[in-house]
Structure 1
Amino acid sequence: MPVPERHVGRLCYTLLLALSATILSSAQTLVGGSLFAPAPAEVTEGNKLWLQYQNSFMFKDRLFIDTDFGHIFNASSRAKRLNIRSVFKYQLTDNIKIGTGMGFFWHYDRPDLEQELRFVQEINYRKNFGASILYQDLRLEERISQGVVIFDDYQTRVRYRLGITIPTNGAMYFGAYDEIFKNLSQQDEVASSFFSMNRAGVLAGFNTYQRFRIEAHLMMEDRYHADAAKNERSFIFTVMVKQII
């Protein structure tokens, strides 16, 4: 029996609240919770504000360039970071894209001008379930850093993100996701922790005209160490603008 339209919005809100409670609770994150390990110690790192713009441009049949620009502010240390990243992608199937590219990250307010160059290879999977979208992203990053003081002895890591977006009857939509990070080349104490970092978040988005979308994200970021007492937790609020060119 079809679900009456007046109940669709209530169902979306109920699902979002359930996902939010599951992902944002300290005991239920994908890495740091009961699925893999005890919840991390409550050592709070600096919270962050992240401003981001993303666009996707199809310059030829099945060929895309995805670019993002970001500006991150750290509340505790007043550190600031600019980044730009571009990835060339090929539409392999209706649901799968593969891509390669590079990004540049610059901590412009530090005396040593900390910089990082990243080469990336990634696979993106999207699957529609009615109006909702389930997505998975797997990314390999090779990182070349200069002027780094902390976390300077690993260069390669893998990132995996699992998420879902849930629309409403109007222009609004909601979502939830979880992303895990695994360092592949490291020699410091973090090496004893299987996963190095986890980000779990929820979002609310609005579809505007002319292929623009505006999103607000709230993420919880956990960094893991061999010594659980040194685990760090911070919250990230993100304002994101997305455009299809």
Structure 2
Amino acid sequence: MEQSFSVLDILETSWDLTKKNFLIIIGYSLVAFITIALVQLIYMGMVASENVILSTIGFFSFLIVNSMANLGFYKLIFRLIDEEEEDFSVKAVIPSWKNIFSFVSITLLIGVIVATFTLVYTQLLKVGSFADFVETLKGKPIYLESLAVFAFILLLLAAMRFMFFPCFIVDDDSTGFESLRQSRALSQDNLIKIMVVLALVVAFIALGFLALGIGIIVTYPFTNVILVVTYRRLVNDYINEHPEEQKVG
């Protein structure tokens, strides 16, 4: 994993890693998916009970299990990259409580940001002039499409800058906000490369859904392998370019 960044090499390395450890990767993904689905069903049942305490417990339980599943997958891939599959064990891929708290904190932050924008938009709709402006936009598709493209570009830029935060949480034991800062620093001079990788990831996920949805069982884990391999390569390049720094950012 010492060579410099190359998109084709990223794909080749990711595919070789996935093929070599197919049963481990797919097995973990299936177990994680089933576990998350079961916890989500339990959570929905708690919400249906309309008990605030039960709903809160269910919500945080779901967040914790989801965090464990996602971070555990990243830990697994890092171990496989470092050729430690012989020492594989369930305990080896269980994230620490610090890792889980860091991931949950970012998840909650994203939720708060989305909820805040939704609340602000809802309140603004009560203002006559803003409501008229929105209706004007809806009546002119070109304006609405331009606004949608603008919003998509903003989301894409945010995704590219912060997509590696789970990797830093697992690989560098970073806190939530530290991982965001490190991800931003890592992507600073690599936006074009990351854009290409992100486009490939989206394409593979779409391909999985097109294959009657069954293909996602393979393509989703594979895309996460691509992200981890990309992260490791970019970190290696960053350290080579900034030898005086012990870690990114």
TM-score normalised by structure 2 residue count: 0.27
Larger Rg: 2
